[in-house]
Structure 1
Amino acid sequence: MQAFDADVFVAGAGPVGLTLAMDLASRGAKVTLAEIRRYAEPPSVKCNHVSARTMERFRRLGVAGKLRDAGLPADYPNDVVFRTSMCGIELTRIPIPSRADRYSSREGPDTWWPTPEPPHRINQISMEPILLEHTAALPGVKLLNRHEVLRFTQDDAGVQTTVRDLDTQQERTILARYLVGCDGGSSTVRKQIGARLEGTPVVQRVQSTFIRAPRLREMLQGKPAWCYYSINPRRCGTVFAIDGHSKWLVHNHLNPNEPEFDSIDRDTSIRNILGVGPDFEYEVISKEDWVGRRLVADRFRDRRVFLAGDAAHLWVPYAGYGMNAGIADALNLSWLLGARLQGWGDEAILEAYEAERQPITEQVSHFAMDHAAKMIRARSAVPPNIEAPDAEGQEARDGIAREAYELNVQQFCCAGLNFGYYYDRSPIIASDGESPPGYSMGDFTESTVPGCRAPHFWLEDGRSLYDALGQGYTLLRFDPRADVSAFQSAAARRGMPLTLLDISQRHVPAPYRHKLVLVRDDQHVAWRGDAVPADPEALVGMLCGEPAGEAPGAAGQSLMAVQA
């Protein structure tokens, strides 16, 4: 084959594709992205939330600060409020700090999180341009705007992709070692590898409208909020503040007996959700109707071609885990591709991507679908007297307030989805026989069981543990007397990047009960023990993806058996 145009060709330059490119570039890879939109053409008004796990990686990629400085005004509360209508009676409120107070606030149900980077509320129309500008400036990254992927072929050496310039209609060929489809729910890449989306095709239809209403904020009672839930017998919906001034995204959640987007009048529904009369003026910027689904691809890979983000899974984006799950795909795949491209990872290391990410997306999709079902039931059970000024009306409002808070605090303060998931089917994680703790959408238990996220703590020099992780693997040593030279030598012979981090502080999270904990640079624990295994070469080989030549799990068991 001819010389490669790129190490990795990425179809799609939305948040998932851009994050993948950023992370690959940080590993020295050459990346080409193809995107059908023009450069800096605004995206749809979609995701409104960047999770803590995503922000943690953006911190390491040098873009977290730029994102924190964008979005809603610095002092604008990120609260979620429940009202009889947006301008109506307040029922309850989930307090979430403004971005000015995000690092310092200790009030509210998500300020306790063990992370250097809490979540950030910002709409994709403000977020994506920052990611795009940052990515376009990176060495080794090339953007092909107004280009669509037509077809591709692959062999043992690489992938040859034919793209078309949408302005000139000319076709060209891009030759890369790997191709990643980050090209959305209608993914051309997914279709061409023959992967099928399986699950529930329709969970919820949402009539969504992006509006400009300059007078709306002055009509709101009390403290403003990032998200407004409107609960009344006429129409239930959700409104998101986009700029904190005049732009709002109105979600009208259609009922099961309203099977089409045009089943009901859009204007009437918007007015019922906002709680405004016929004389209130607003402008429709765009219609953003969407269908909530629960679909996961039956495979995420065909040899040198991979799927990530909406190309691999689609579900109702409760807890913000649509885009954020896609970014988690990208970061998982990036470090595996980086290992392979840098030469220390065996080709088989790439098998870990599907083995790790597909089970997680299946789990998250069920969390989202279960929550969607509960929300649908709640919307169908709104008391008819919820707006009544009498004692019975107040009792109805109090009941709805309790139910709304308990149901929704877990999705807007979703510590479990951020920090609880684990990889328990991976060929490159050494199981030691202990099962990872379970988690829910809102709750989790910190753990160093291999496959779990390494619990965060601050180092004595003020750095986050994650800031100190090296590329590849980092060995945390909690006892300076533990001899790790044999492991270091085995890693050096294999060329596997290994950073030794001696932990001197006395107070670390309780789960760190072993003298040695090996952490991947995606923050997941790969191995732990009180001494280096008797055969460190075997451990290094497994970490680099070399086939063990034995039944799954056997390598991990042998490593566990020889620990001191």
Structure 2
Amino acid sequence: MIEIPVLIAGGASVGLSMAAELGWRKIPCLLVEQRREVNPHPRANAVGNRTMEYFRRWGVDQKLFNKGVPPDYPADYYWVSSMHGRALHRLSMLSYEQLVQARNSGVADPMAEMYWSPYLKTIVGQQHVERALKEYVQTLECVDSRFGWALRDFEQDAEGVTAQIECLQTGKIEQVRSRYLVGCDGGRSLVRTRLNVPMSGRSNMARFVSIYFRCPDFMEAHSFGHGNIYFPLRKEYSGFLLNWDGGTLWTYHLILPEGKEWNDIDPSQAVWALLGKEVPLEVIEVQPWTAHALTVDQYRVGNVFLAGDAAHKFTPTGGLGMNTGVGDAIELGWKLEAVIRGWAPPCLLDTYHIERHPVGVRNTMEAADNFDKLYSVMQYGPELDADDEHGEALRKALGEELQRQEKILASSGVLLGYRYNATPICVPDGTPEPPDDPRRYVPTARPGHRAPHIWLTPDTSILDLFSPHFTLLDFTGRQAGRQWEKQATSMGVPLTVREIDHAGAKRLYDAELVLVRPDMMVAWRGASDADAQGILQTVTGRAMQPLAA
């Protein structure tokens, strides 16, 4: 019998992030993943800025910058009738190099999007993300990562979980006794199935075939500029085309028409039809998938938790699925550590569902809204290319509509602007809630929100000062946080005080003292004479009443 505090089922991006977060916190865990190697199909194409902030703590961010679209390439996105037709709309965003240059110029508005985070979206395939996470996880001594192993079954009692795992190469079965089990095992989750937890939302919104291919001459085969994504709108080509590098590796996600199955589609012919010509290409892999907008009704059942696609199924419109799942892992990781180490009560774990379930619903519905709006303009045929006044009028009307759809790409408001309003472990300060706008993030240190980024030096974000545990930001200039440090020590709560002498940060955080949680969310802010003991009791869950079983 293997005994371990946490068993993680599933080793894709979310399971690896769960293992990385626990391992970074030095909590022993066992990860089992059926694949021996990372799934080579790219799948998700954008690592959100919030996810990169998490990866920054582990150093994984640095491994991703040159793995996808080169940092000096234009970050342009095109809506087209087809790749041999007309452009209807283009969105130009800053490339990584342009982002750095604009920041260093000193002329940009410090409240503009480039200052909301150290990052914009990083365009890189999910396979590169998982390889970087896997390499990091395998350096962590307290993580036992077993690739080529699968969870076969489990049962739980009041004290923990007993599971059976199998080595797929040998058929060997081992018993695992863990205090907690985290199901990160994807959309067809065995963990969710065994728990019999229902999902709510919308299912079977559309069926796709995903064609992953290499085409060295692709950029010469059409008349548009370099794009990270192209959205073909004519019904027979409808879907999206994702660029994975300088323009040779692509994935074409084609919406399947009624009555067609994915294996009815000739992948080369589908790409050639989109281009309007035959060019040499290599089909690397073809996979079917279905778009959903579903969230589980419960993220926790006893000692078992759900995260990532096991907890929510997304349409990819907006790039929110993987990023929401990584957020689940970060949120759950610190709470598991707190309970396992004994500085928070077990009922703290109830707040995982309380906080993350609304985010799952919000984000799946936002992705579904993006898909609905995009799909609504994918219902046209040859008239979209007609060289007459009717064609011109149609393209003009669609171009205006597509400007309103830019939130499918410019989604920092979703990625950074989530908030935990109904949580019992943040202390409200009575300030008004900013708008929850999918596109525009409002930097705020209001409790329950992400602790906002600001550059303290050209290379140091305030986020870099946050400890793995609670961090008290002291803007008083008179060491007011020292008393909090003593109080936290007496209570056994890990807390680091950071004295900040930076006028911009003080204005942004708008309080003498600000308490930041281990997941980089604001727990409390207020005056230096506040009740430190009472606040620490609240933010660690010690003031909570356990939920009824």
Report the TM-score, using the length of structure 1 for normalisation: 0.90
Letter in 1 for 2:272: R
Deviation sequence 1:208-239 (CA, Å, 0-9, x none): 21122232222132421111111235432211
2:514 aligns with one of 513, 517, 520: 517
Give 1:467 shift: 0.3
Q: Return the alpha-carbon distance in structure 2 between the equivalents of residues 270 and 242 of structure 1.
A: 16
Aligned to 1:154: 156
Aligned to 1:229: 231
Aligned to 2:323: 324
Instruction: Note the 1:63-82 alignment, pairs <5 A.
Output: 63-82=60-79
Q: Return the alpha-carbon distance in structure 2 between the equivalents of residues 445 and 139 of structure 1.
A: 39
Give 1:72 shift: 2.4
Q: Return the alpha-carbon distance in structure 1 between the equivalents of residues 297 and 239 of structure 2.
A: 33
Specify whether residues 212 and 47 from structure 1 end up closer, same or farther in structure 2 by C-alpha distance, changes over 3 A only. Answer: same
Aligned to 1:349: 348
Q: Return the alpha-carbon distance in structure 2 between the equivalents of residues 372 and 41 of structure 1.
A: 28
Letter in 2 for 1:252: L
Specify whether residues 6 and 87 from structure 1 end up closer, same or farther in structure 2 by C-alpha distance, changes over 3 A only. Answer: farther
Deviation sequence 1:19-74 (CA, Å, 0-9, x none): 11111111111121101011x34343310000000001111111111111211234
Q: Secondary structure at the match of 2:250?
A: strand
Instruction: Note the 1:399-548 alignment, pairs <5 A.
Output: 399-407=397-405, 409-460=406-457, 462-481=459-478, 483-508=480-505, 510-534=507-531, 536-548=532-544
Letter in 2 for 1:441: P
Q: Secondary structure at the match of 2:75?
A: coil
Give 1:385 shift: 3.1
Give 1:281 shift: 4.0
Specify whether residues 311 and 550 from structure 1 end up closer, same or farther in structure 2 by C-alpha distance, changes over 3 A only. Answer: closer
Between 1:347-356 and 1:111-120, the stretch displaced more is: 111-120
**2:206 touches 2:291 (CA, 8 Å); kept in 1?**
yes
Q: Return the alpha-carbon distance in structure 1 between the equivalents of residues 288 and 75 of structure 2.
A: 24
Specify whether residues 434 and 508 from structure 1 end up closer, same or farther in structure 2 by C-alpha distance, changes over 3 A only. Answer: same
Instruction: Note the 1:112-261 alignment, pairs <5 A.
Output: 112-232=114-234, 234-254=236-256, 257=258, 260-261=261-262
Q: Return the alpha-carbon distance in structure 2 between the equivalents of residues 238 and 494 of structure 1.
A: 54
Specify whether residues 175 and 233 from structure 1 end up closer, same or farther in structure 2 by C-alpha distance, changes over 3 A only. Answer: closer
1:26 aligns with one of 24, 29, 34: 24
Between 1:384-393 and 1:340-349, the stretch displaced more is: 384-393
**2:347 touches 2:544 (CA, 8 Å); kept in 1?**
no
Specify whether residues 548 and 76 from structure 1 end up closer, same or farther in structure 2 by C-alpha distance, changes over 3 A only. Answer: closer
Between 1:471-480 and 1:110-119, the stretch displaced more is: 110-119
Letter in 1 for 2:538: M
Q: Secondary structure at the match of 1:86?
A: coil
Q: Secondary structure at the match of 1:379?
A: coil
Aligned to 2:371: 372
Between 1:431-440 and 1:382-391, the stretch displaced more is: 382-391
Deviation sequence 1:422-453 (CA, Å, 0-9, x none): 00122211123344323122123222221011
- Give structure 2 stretches of 5+ with no counterpart: none
Give 1:191 shift: 1.6
Give 1:526 shift: 0.3
Count the aligned residue pairs: 543
Q: Secondary structure at the match of 2:537?
A: helix
**2:9 touches 2:183 (CA, 8 Å); kept in 1?**
yes
Aligned to 2:275: 275
Letter in 1 for 2:62: G
Q: Return the alpha-carbon distance in structure 2 between the equivalents of residues 546 and 172 of structure 1.
A: 37
Letter in 2 for 1:49: A
Q: Secondary structure at the match of 2:339?
A: helix
**1:455 touches 1:509 (CA, 8 Å); kept in 2?**
no
Specify whether residues 286 and 317 from structure 1 end up closer, same or farther in structure 2 by C-alpha distance, changes over 3 A only. Answer: same
**1:205 touches 1:259 (CA, 8 Å); kept in 2?**
no
Q: Return the alpha-carbon distance in structure 2 between the equivalents of residues 19 and 116 of structure 1.
A: 20
Q: Secondary structure at the match of 2:356?
A: helix
Q: Return the alpha-carbon distance in structure 1 between the equivalents of residues 51 and 95 of structure 2.
A: 18
Letter in 2 for 1:326: G
Aligned to 2:289: 290
Q: Secondary structure at the match of 1:153?
A: strand
Letter in 2 for 1:34: V
Specify whether residues 464 and 345 from structure 1 end up closer, same or farther in structure 2 by C-alpha distance, changes over 3 A only. Answer: same
Specify whether residues 134 and 481 from structure 1 end up closer, same or farther in structure 2 by C-alpha distance, changes over 3 A only. Answer: closer
Q: Return the alpha-carbon distance in structure 2 between the equivalents of residues 87 and 298 of structure 1.
A: 45
Specify whether residues 82 and 509 from structure 1 end up closer, same or farther in structure 2 by C-alpha distance, changes over 3 A only. Answer: farther
Letter in 2 for 1:368: A
Letter in 1 for 2:173: E
**2:411 touches 2:438 (CA, 8 Å); kept in 1?**
yes
Aligned to 1:560: none
Q: Return the alpha-carbon distance in structure 1 between the equivalents of residues 378 and 340 of structure 2.
A: 51
Q: Return the alpha-carbon distance in structure 2 between the equivalents of residues 206 and 509 of structure 1.
A: 49
Q: Secondary structure at the match of 2:74?
A: coil
Aligned to 1:558: none
Specify whether residues 442 and 341 from structure 1 end up closer, same or farther in structure 2 by C-alpha distance, changes over 3 A only. Answer: same
Give 1:532 shift: 3.7
**2:472 touches 2:515 (CA, 8 Å); kept in 1?**
yes
Q: Secondary structure at the match of 2:122?
A: coil
Aligned to 1:360: 359
Q: Return the alpha-carbon distance in structure 2 between the equivalents of residues 176 and 466 of structure 1.
A: 33
Aligned to 1:561: none
**2:444 touches 2:508 (CA, 8 Å); kept in 1?**
yes
Q: Return the alpha-carbon distance in structure 2 between the equivalents of residues 550 and 433 of structure 1.
A: 26
**1:206 touches 1:253 (CA, 8 Å); kept in 2?**
yes
**1:348 touches 1:547 (CA, 8 Å); kept in 2?**
no
Between 1:387-396 and 1:149-158, the stretch displaced more is: 387-396
Aligned to 2:34: 36
2:52 aligns with one of 55, 66, 71: 55
Letter in 2 for 1:172: E
**1:105 touches 1:111 (CA, 8 Å); kept in 2?**
no
Give 1:179 shift: 1.2
Q: Return the alpha-carbon distance in structure 2 between the equivalents of residues 159 and 308 of structure 1.
A: 17
- Give structure 1 stretches of 5+ with no counterpart: 553-564
Report the TM-score, using the length of structure 2 for normalisation: 0.92
Between 1:364-373 and 1:71-80, the stretch displaced more is: 71-80
Give 1:133 shift: 1.4
Aligned to 1:307: 306
Q: Return the alpha-carbon distance in structure 1 between the equivalents of residues 269 and 224 of structure 2.
A: 25
Give 1:398 shift: 3.1
Specify whether residues 350 and 233 from structure 1 end up closer, same or farther in structure 2 by C-alpha distance, changes over 3 A only. Answer: closer
Letter in 2 for 1:270: V
Q: Return the alpha-carbon distance in structure 2 between the equivalents of residues 240 and 358 of structure 1.
A: 30
Q: Return the alpha-carbon distance in structure 1 between the equivalents of residues 441 and 91 of structure 2.
A: 20
**1:45 touches 1:288 (CA, 8 Å); kept in 2?**
no
Superposition RMSD on alpha carbons, in Å? 2.6
Deviation sequence 1:56-107 (CA, Å, 0-9, x none): 1111111111111211234333321122212433332211334444433479
Specify whether residues 190 and 435 from structure 1 end up closer, same or farther in structure 2 by C-alpha distance, changes over 3 A only. Answer: farther
Deviation sequence 1:144-168 (CA, Å, 0-9, x none): 1111111123334432211111111
